[in-house]
């Protein structure tokens, strides 16, 4: 199965907002981290840059080095680098996929809200423009 980062980002975004509204902070924050990850990977794939799989789940690495390399290889992607990318990365710097194993209640509602807001920014500023530009399926 090939990755569809646009679809995954959209699904995780909707689910994270729903879970936050249901006071399910742990899962909302966990999924919001994947919104950011998939949004960054969607941008990288849309420009034909390096395959983002090699960067794993490291949001800081994806948001800086990997995205910078993709921009270097495909200058047209500069359109998709929001000015808030550093803020998004800073707000999600503590996120780890291992949050799925954390005890219920480890993630505060406030931190989950911050994570979901960062996911929303990433989705709106990275994925939405890709879709609006006609890339309904990012090249694999």
Q: Where are the domains of the chain?
A: 5-131
Which residues fall within 8 angstroms of residue 106, CB to CB, at 6 or more apart?
26, 99
* Residue 99 burial (10 A CB sphere; 0-12, 13-18, 19+): middle
Which of 1.20.120, 3.30.200, 3.90.79, 3.10.110 would CATH assign to domain 5-131?
1.20.120
pLDDT tens readout for residues 36-78: 999 988 888 876 666 778 788 888 877 777 777 777 777 776 6
Which residues fall within 8 angstroms of residue 13, CB to CB, at 6 or more apart?
32, 35, 119, 120, 123
pLDDT tens readout for residues 88-117: 888 898 999 999 999 999 999 999 999 999
pLDDT at 137 over 70: no
Which residues fall within 8 angstroms of residue 78, CB to CB, at 6 or more apart?
71
User: What is the model's pLDDT at position 37?
Assistant: 93
Residue owning tokens 């809200």: 113
Q: What is the value of pTM for the model shown?
A: 0.86
């Amino acid at each position: 199965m090939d990755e569809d980062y646009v679809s995954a980002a959209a699904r995780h975004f909707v689910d994270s907002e729903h879970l936050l509204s249901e006071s399910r902070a742990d899962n909302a924050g966990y999924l919001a981290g994947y919104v950011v990850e998939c949004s960054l990977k969607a941008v990288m794939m849309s420009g034909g840059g390096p395959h983002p799989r090699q960067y794993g789940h490291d949001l800081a690495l994806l948001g800086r080095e990997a995205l910078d390399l993709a921009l270097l290889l495909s200058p047209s992607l500069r359109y998709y680098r929001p000015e808030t990318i550093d803020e998004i990365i800073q707000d999600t710097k503590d996120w780890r996929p291992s949050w799925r194993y954390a005890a219920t209640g480890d993630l505060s509602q406030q931190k989950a809200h911050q994570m979901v807001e960062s996911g929303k920014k990433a989705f709106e500023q990275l994925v939405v423009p890709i879709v609006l530009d006609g890339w309904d399926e990012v090249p694999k």
